[in-house]
Every structure is written in structure tokens, then in C-alpha cells.
């Protein structure tokens, strides 16, 4: 049942209005494309770092991590734990590389290193990935909030979606980053308040939570078997390595933030702030799930029968948080969605303008780029809302399922491309193209022979014993490795142009900030 008080609704509405107000506040500053996408490169590192945090911690994290902590152990956190390990190894040269090599799009690097096809392939992969993500996030948060507020899901999706489009359209990246600071603080505070209330509701507090969780196998990061067919520590660790490389090495929503900082050192500091804050926040929400497991072990009658893991935290918010606090935490959930979606919208617009519009209309003035960018925000925002609406009416079946399957096939191997570009000098564009072709073939085989469809769960393509049977997280790992290995070896078959060392690790290692 919806137990929210009028005060909770007022807090939620005020939070939304505050978000819109921050976006509109910066509208007067948005006078050209450079300001709209990079804020003129003048933002402080701590604000950019908070923005990276808010971008990484989406509303899905707000729901999925407590759900995972409730139903299992902490194995999902292994992916996040790998991020600072990888980041510390690469951030010192990859941030200055992007700040000095590209104009705006992260995928300009791939064109300079491997030609036009590499740029368009990687750019299109980003567009499809984040467009799919936006529709999914909007649908999932709409589903959660509609159940919590007792409002129709379509209403939530459209209201939230339009708010995101408006504040992104007028605020530009500067408005988004300062909004992310506000929303990041709200997100962390919401999580901490929830955890404090849960812990204080359990006799023995944190020590009792740890004792019960240990007895019930809700702690630790195992299983630790060397097994790629099930969800194990090694599967999550490998997946985490490539996740970290993808987010900080090729994701426009992160790379674009490097360009908003005042200097290379400030950009590096911002990246470190973002990731070093992200891991504790991921752990916070995972621990909320563990604490809720113990809470409902002690009071099982308080949890409705058949409740799914990702419904437990929303149920606790509605049934157990005091008046005002519930509205505050729901506002934090909405803030998490907005901070992820507004970043995606701005960065999608940047990529569409820089990689496609400018390519086909190279002589257009900056004012035309600025205008086109704003139109891209509106168009992609509305399309994301429509995707979420389709999810709400038909789920991921039919055309959406087909689109996302095709995306999975034709967008793999980007990290393999990055590693070849940074750490090899022998790899040429012809060899890379062979590697990408091999990756598409492998990914098509793996996706088609492991994706069930229909009520009878039959596979899209059934090859019997030759089906891809390893855990789905390994598919992403293998796709990058196929590009890396095949692309490197195939390069020996072709004579390519001499590599510009300034585009590699070897040419920049002496130029670290």
C-alpha cells in the first residue's frame, strides 16, 4: 500500500522543481557549442568528480544493489572494486591524451589512429548503447516510482522524461554538472539515512547484521572457483577490468567531463574523486540490501509474500521510513535517474553533432552546430521516452528485443580497439577491420546461440553442443579479446602507414600531467 504523506509528495515535487531550476539557471550561459558541451573547460575538479560519481551511480544502482545484497552475497561489487585498480594504471596518460588529441568526441581518437570506419563504428556503438540504456533506466525507475507513488507508469515516464529533456536542453553540460553535485549529495544522503534507520531497527546493529549475513552466506565475494560458466569471482573481476577500461577509456559521458576541467591535473583529480567516491557508494547500497535481509529475517511478517529482491528496498521506504524521510529517499532515487539520463542526453547530442552532423556539413558555423545539438537533445530525449513507453506496454519482446540483439552483435570489441591503439605500434587499420569483422561474427554466434525467446525458451539459433554456454558476462570479455588478438595478428598481413606515436602510450608516457 502507498503510505506516503502529503509532506512526502511536497518534498518530491520540490526536489524536481529544484532540479529544473538549476538547469534553467545556467541557460543564459549557453551561447555556443563549446560552452554547451565542455563549459569552456573551466570547472573545478571536485565538481567534475561529483558529476562523474552521479553519472556512474544511476537509479538502477539504487534498486539493483540493495536487491542483490538482499538475495545474494557481494559478488556484484567485484566489478566496481576493479575500477580503481585499472584507473590508477591508465588515468595518468589517458586523460591528457584525450584533452590534447580530440576536439569533443572520444571517438575522434579512433579515426586519427585507425581511420573513419573505426570512428563511426565506435561512435555508433556508444549511441546505441546509451540510447538503449536511457530507455531502460527510464522504464525501470518509472516502474519503481509508479508503484511507490501510486501513479500510472506512463505518467511517471513522461513527466520524468520531459524534465530531463528540459534541464538538459537549457542547462548544457555546466548546468548538468552542478545539478549532478546537488543530486550526488542527495543520493549519498538518502542512502546513509536509510541505512542508519535500518541498523537502528535491529538489536545489535551492524555486528548483528554481519553475524546473520555470515551465517546465511550473504557476505563475501565468492564463489572463487575458476569457472567461466557461472557467476564467480573471476568472471566478475574480468568483467570489471573491461568495464573500467570502457567507462574511463571510451565512454563519451566520462571522456567529455575530462574536457570540462581547468587543466590536465584537474581532470585527473576529478576522475580519481569520481571513482574513489563511487566504490563506497556502491558498497553502501549493497550493504543496505544485506541489512534489509537481516531486518526481514527478524521480522518476516513485515515483508509481503513473493516480493522480488529489487522490490524490497522500495517496500521498506514506503512501510518503515518516517514521514518526510520517505519523500527525501524517493527524491534521491529520482535524482539518481536524472543525473544519469541528463548526462546521456548531452553526450549523445555531442557525439551526433561532432561525429555525424559536422562530418556531412563541415562548413557550418558554430551557431548551426549549437542549434543542431539542441535539436538532438529534444529528438533523442523523446525517442528514449518512447522506448520506455514501449517497454511499459510490451516489455523487451518484439522489435525492441530484435533491436537490442542487433546492437549486442554490432557494437562489441571497443576496448580491444582502444588497447590496440594505445599499446601497439604495429597494428594498422586494415588489421583492425579484420579484427572487428571477426568480433561481429563471434558475437553473433554467441548471442544467437545463448538467447532464449518465446514461452518455450527456445534459442534464436540452436547448435546443440556448440552453443555458447559460458556466463553472459564473459561474452563482453571475449569480444574485446577477439578484436585485440585478431586485429594485431592480421596487421602483419597488410602494409600500413607509420603510426603516430603521439597517439600511443609510448609517445605520451613522458608527457604525463
Q: What is the DSSP string of 273-303?
A: HHHHHHHHHHHHHHHHHHHHHHHHHH-GGGS
Q: What is the pLDDT of residue 79?
A: 87
User: Do residues 334 and 424 share a domain?
Assistant: no
Element (H, E) at 498: none
CA neighbours closer than 13 Å in the CB half-sphere of residue 166: 15
CA neighbours closer than 13 Å in the CB half-sphere of residue 153: 16
Give, in degrees to the nearest 5, the angle at Cα 489 between 483 and 494.
110
Measured between alpha carbons, how far is 372 from 366 in angstroms, rounded to an integer?
A: 10
User: Do residues 481 and 332 share a domain?
Assistant: no
For 41-83, the DSSP string reads: G-B-HHHHHHHHHHHHS-HHHHHHHHHHHHHS-STTHHHHHHH
Q: Give me the domain span that covers residue 169.
A: 6-25+34-395
Residue partners of 28: CB distance under 8 A and separation at least 6 = none
239 forms bridges with which residues in the sheet?
none
Q: Which of 345, 377, 395 is the last residue of a domain?
A: 395
Q: What is the pLDDT of residues 222-281, one digit of tens each?
A: 899 999 999 899 999 998 898 889 888 898 999 999 999 999 999 999 999 998 888 999
Give, in degrees to the nearest 5, the angle at Cα 372 between 366 and 375.
150
Q: Which of 337, 361, 395 is the last residue of a domain?
A: 395
- Let me know if residue 364 belongs to a domain: yes
192 forms bridges with which residues in the sheet?
none
Measured between alpha carbons, how far is 334 from 48 in angstroms, rounded to an integer?
A: 20
| Residues 107 and 122: beta-carbon distance below 8 Å | yes
Q: What is the pLDDT of residue 398?
A: 46
User: Do residues 276 and 416 share a domain?
Assistant: no
User: Do residues 318 and 372 share a domain?
Assistant: yes
For residue 452, which phi and psi values (nearest 5 degrees)? -80, 145
Measured between alpha carbons, how far is 389 from 412 in angstroms, rounded to an integer?
A: 27
The residue assigned the cell 522543481 is: 17
Q: What is the pLDDT of residue 405?
A: 52
Residue partners of 113: CB distance under 8 A and separation at least 6 = 421, 499, 500, 503
| Residues 175 and 167: beta-carbon distance below 8 Å | yes
User: Do residues 193 and 233 share a domain?
Assistant: yes
Measured between alpha carbons, how far is 154 from 342 in angstroms, rounded to an integer?
A: 19
User: Do residues 377 and 510 share a domain?
Assistant: no
Residue partners of 255: CB distance under 8 A and separation at least 6 = 98, 102, 106
User: Do residues 147 and 79 share a domain?
Assistant: yes
User: Do residues 326 and 443 share a domain?
Assistant: no
For 238-253, the DSSP string reads: HHHHHHHHHHHHT-HH
- Let me know if residue 192 belongs to a domain: yes
Measured between alpha carbons, how far is 381 from 13 in angstroms, rounded to an integer?
A: 21
Q: Which of 371, 395, 419 is the last residue of a domain?
A: 395
The residue assigned the cell 588515468 is: 91
User: Do residues 240 and 355 share a domain?
Assistant: yes
For residue 492, which phi and psi values (nearest 5 degrees)? -70, -15
CA dihedral 504, 507, 509, 511 (to 10 degrees): -120
Q: What is the pLDDT of residue 493?
A: 93
Of the chain, the percentage scoring pLDDT greater than 90 comes to 39
Measured between alpha carbons, how far is 282 from 58 in angstroms, rounded to an integer?
A: 10
111: left (phi over 0), alpha (psi -120 to 50) or beta: alpha
Task: Read off the C-alpha cell for 133.
Answer: 540504456
User: Do residues 430 and 332 share a domain?
Assistant: no
- Let me know if residue 1 belongs to a domain: no
- Let me know if residue 176 belongs to a domain: yes
For residue 243, which phi and psi values (nearest 5 degrees)? -65, -45
- Let me know if residue 17 belongs to a domain: yes
Number of domains in the chain: 2
Q: What is the pLDDT of residues 80-106, one digit of tens each?
A: 899 888 888 888 889 999 999 999 999
Q: Which of 389, 143, 126, 378 is nearest to 252 (CA)?
A: 126
* Tens of pLDDT, residue by residue, the chain (513 residues): 557 889 988 998 998 888 888 888 888 788 888 888 998 889 999 999 999 988 887 767 777 889 889 988 899 899 889 988 888 888 888 999 999 999 999 999 999 999 999 999 999 888 888 887 788 888 888 888 888 888 888 998 999 999 899 989 998 899 899 988 888 888 889 889 999 999 999 988 999 999 998 888 888 898 999 999 998 999 999 988 988 898 888 989 999 999 999 999 999 999 999 988 889 999 999 999 999 999 998 888 888 888 888 889 988 988 888 888 989 988 888 888 888 888 889 999 999 999 999 888 888 888 888 899 999 999 999 998 988 888 777 654 444 455 545 555 556 789 999 999 999 999 999 999 999 999 989 988 988 898 887 666 788 788 988 999 998 888 888 999 999 999 999 999 998 778 888 888 888 665 544
Element (H, E) at 459: strand 458-459
User: Do residues 291 and 409 share a domain?
Assistant: no
| CATH number of the domain enclosing 101 | 1.20.1730.10
- Let me know if residue 13 belongs to a domain: yes
User: Do residues 411 and 346 share a domain?
Assistant: no
- Say how far residue 56 (Cα) sits from the centre of its chain: 5
Q: What is the pLDDT of residue 61?
A: 77
Q: What is the pLDDT of residue 83?
A: 87
| Residues 282 and 58: beta-carbon distance below 8 Å | no
Q: Which of 198, 194, 196 is nearest to 294 (CA)?
A: 198
Task: Read off the C-alpha cell for 68.
Answer: 542483490
| Residues 195 and 362: beta-carbon distance below 8 Å | no
Q: What is the pLDDT of residue 513?
A: 42
DSSP type of residue 503: G
| Residues 172 and 26: beta-carbon distance below 8 Å | yes
Q: What is the pLDDT of residue 497?
A: 78
Amino acid at each position: 500500500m502507498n503510505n506516503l504523506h502529503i509532506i512526502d509528495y511536497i518534498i518530491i515535487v520540490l526536489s524536481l522543481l529544484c532540479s529544473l531550476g538549476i538547469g534553467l539557471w545556467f541557460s543564459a550561459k549557453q551561447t555556443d557549442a563549446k560552452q554547451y558541451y565542455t563549459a569552456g573547460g573551466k570547472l573545478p575538479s571536485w565538481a567534475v568528480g561529483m558529476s562523474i560519481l552521479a553519472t556512474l551511480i544511476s537509479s538502477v544502482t539504487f534498486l539493483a544493489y540493495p536487491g542483490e545484497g538482499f538475495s545474494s552475497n557481494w559478488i556484484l561489487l567485484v566489478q566496481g572494486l576493479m575500477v580503481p585498480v585499472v584507473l590508477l594504471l591508465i588515468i595518468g596518460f589517458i586523460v591528457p591524451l584525450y584533452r590534447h588529441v580530440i576536439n569533443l568526441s572520444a571517438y575522434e581518437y579512433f579515426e586519427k589512429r585507425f581511420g573513419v570506419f573505426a570512428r563511426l563504428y565506435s561512435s555508433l556503438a556508444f549511441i546505441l548503447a546509451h540510447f538503449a540504456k536511457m530507455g531502460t533506466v527510464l522504464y525501470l525507475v518509472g516502474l519503481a516510482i509508479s508503484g511507490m507513488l501510486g501513479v500510472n507508469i506512463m505518467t511517471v515516464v513522461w513527466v520524468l522524461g520531459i524534465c530531463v529533456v528540459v534541464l538538459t536542453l537549457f542547462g548544457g553540460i555546466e548546468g548538468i554538472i552542478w545539478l549532478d553535485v546537488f543530486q550526488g549529495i542527495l543520493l549519498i544522503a538518502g542512502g546513509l539515512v536509510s541505512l542508519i534507520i535500518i541498523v537502528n531497527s535491529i538489536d545489535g546493529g551492524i555486528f548483528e547484521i554481519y553475524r546473520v549475513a555470515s551465517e546465511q552466506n550473504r557476505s563475501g565475494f565468492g564463489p572463487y572457483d575458476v569457472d567461466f560458466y557461472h557467476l564467480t569471482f573471476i568472471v566478475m573481476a574480468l568483467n570489471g577490468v573491461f568495464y573500467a577500461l570502457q567507462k574511463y577509456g571510451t565512454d563519451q559521458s566520462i571522456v567529455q567531463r575530462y574536457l570540462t576541467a581547468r587543466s590536465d591535473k584537474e581532470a585527473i583529480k576529478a576522475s580519481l574523486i569520481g571513482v574513489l567516491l563511487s566504490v563506497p557508494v556502491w558498497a553502501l547500497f549493497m550493504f543496505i540490501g544485506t541489512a534489509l535481509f537481516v531486518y526481514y529475517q527478524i521480522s518476516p511478517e513485515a515483508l509481503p509474500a513473493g516480493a522480488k529482491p529489487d522490490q524490497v528496498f522500495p517496500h521498506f521506504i514506503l512501510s518503515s521510513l518516517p514521514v518526510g524521510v520517505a519523500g527525501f529517499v524517493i527524491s534521491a532515487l529520482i535524482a539518481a535517474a536524472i543525473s544519469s539520463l541528463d548526462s546521456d542526453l548531452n553526450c549523445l547530442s555531442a557525439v551526433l553533432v561532432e561525429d555525424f552532423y559536422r562530418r556531412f556539413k563541415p562548413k557550418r558555423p558554430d551557431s548551426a552546430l549549437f542549434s543542431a545539438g539542441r535539436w538532438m537533445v529534444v529528438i533523442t530525449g523523446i525517442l528514449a521516452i518512447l522506448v520506455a513507453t514501449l517497454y511499459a506496454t510490451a516489455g523487451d519482446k518484439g522489435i525492441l528485443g530484435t533491436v537490442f540483439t542487433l546492437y549486442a552483435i554490432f557494437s562489441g570489441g571497443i576496448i580491444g580497439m582502444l588497447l590496440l591503439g594505445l599499446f601497439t605500434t604495429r597494428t594498422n587499420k586494415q588489421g583492425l577491420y579484420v579484427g572487428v569483422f571477426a568480433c561481429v561474427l563471434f558475437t553473433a554466434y554467441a548471442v544467437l546461440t545463448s538467447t532464449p525467446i518465446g514461452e518455450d525458451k527456445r534459442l534464436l539459433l540452436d547448435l546443440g553442443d556448440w552453443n555458447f554456454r559460458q556466463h553472459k558476462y564473459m561474452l563482453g570479455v571475449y569480444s574485446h579479446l577477439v578484436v585485440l588478438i585478431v586485429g594485431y595478428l592480421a596487421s602483419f598481413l597488410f602494409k600500413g602507414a607509420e603510426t603516430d606515436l603521439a597517439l600511443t602510450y609510448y609517445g605520451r608516457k613522458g608527457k604525463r600531467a
